[in-house]
Amino acid sequence: MHDMAYDPIHDEIIVPQFFAFAILTFAGDADGNVAPIRKIMGPSTQLKNTHALAVDPVHGEIFVPGRHGDNRILVFPREADGDVAPIRILETDTTPGRVAVDPVHNLLIVSGGPGLHIYDRTASGKAKPLRVITIPQDEGRRRTGLLAVDPASGMIFAKVGGGGGRHETGDFVGVWSIYDDGEVAPRWTIGLGILKDTRGVALDIKNQSVIVTDKTLNSILTFHVPEAF
């Protein structure tokens, strides 16, 4: 299993299944060896090695990025079940690393390479991004990855990987606005000099904190950054 998502409105956990080419949805209070309440799987889905997803609980949609040269993002209804086709497909101009949805401003944020690509939430086909944030390449080759967004403030929290190996303290979480465009330095930098191999980024908006998991450190780190919220 890879990145999963939680739907706080419907109290559901949505999980990508890499080897089964599937998306599994469980009840929020699921415990033990229980079957999913819904399962998106089959040739019509066009899913392959599903590794990440994002859920829009407001508009009831699931966004699934491709990988290994597949630059598409497949969109499914939240309640889809079985061998169902996507309701729309967005062909991005980068191989998408991760996606995040801002249902307040109706935006889809896509990480990939050294940039953050911001699309209209309902974009499909070969639609161009509304804005592209390019990360300054200060030291070595930096790439964007994991994403989280605070819809209330319009702030994007993105993992930025350093040019070194996983045992070097080159990772950080950068914070940008959904209105940033072009080559823009992050408004705030979190965890630089500490993080080595970031594997998860989540927001505790109520407590104005960013929660980061790091594989090399074998730790879950919480950063209190009220200025970024």
Prediction pTM value: 0.91
Task: Give dist(CA 43, CA 161) in Å, integer.
Answer: 34
Pairing mode, strands 61-65 and 107-112:
unpaired
Task: Give dist(CA 125, CA 154) in Å, integer.
Answer: 25
**What pLDDT score was predicted for residue 175?**
97
Residues written for the chain: 229
Give the three-class secondary structure for 189: strand
Q: 94-229, which class in CATH?
A: mainly beta
Task: Give dist(CA 204, CA 83) in Å, integer.
Answer: 35
93 C-beta neighbours (distance < 10 Å), count: 16
**What pLDDT score was predicted for residue 60?**
96
DSSP 8-state symbol, 28: T
Task: Give dist(CA 43, CA 60) in Å, integer.
Answer: 22
**What pLDDT score was predicted for residue 141?**
65
Q: Which of these CATH numbers, 2.40.30.10, 2.40.160.20, 3.90.1300.10, 2.40.10.500, describes 1-91? A: 2.40.10.500
Task: Give dist(CA 187, CA 13) in Å, integer.
Answer: 31
In this chain, the answer to whether the domains covering 1-91 and 94-229 adopt an identical fold is: no
Which token pair is 82?
């079985």
Task: Give dist(CA 85, CA 215) in Å, integer.
Answer: 35
Site of tokens 């739907």: 7
The domains of the chain are located at: 1-91, 94-229
Q: pLDDT digits over 157-176, tens only?
A: 999 986 555 566 689 999 99
Task: Give dist(CA 217, CA 187) in Å, integer.
Answer: 25
**What pLDDT score was predicted for residue 163?**
59
DSSP string, 83-115: S---SEEEE-SS----EEEETTTTEEEEEETTE
Report the candidate in 15, 65, 57, 60 with the shortest Cα–Cα distance to residue 40.
15
Task: Give dist(CA 152, CA 41) in Å, integer.
Answer: 33
Give the three-class secondary structure for 41: strand
Residues of the chain falling short of pLDDT 70: 1-2, 138-141, 162-169
Q: pLDDT digits over 8-54, tens only?
A: 999 999 999 999 999 999 999 999 999 999 999 999 999 999 999 99
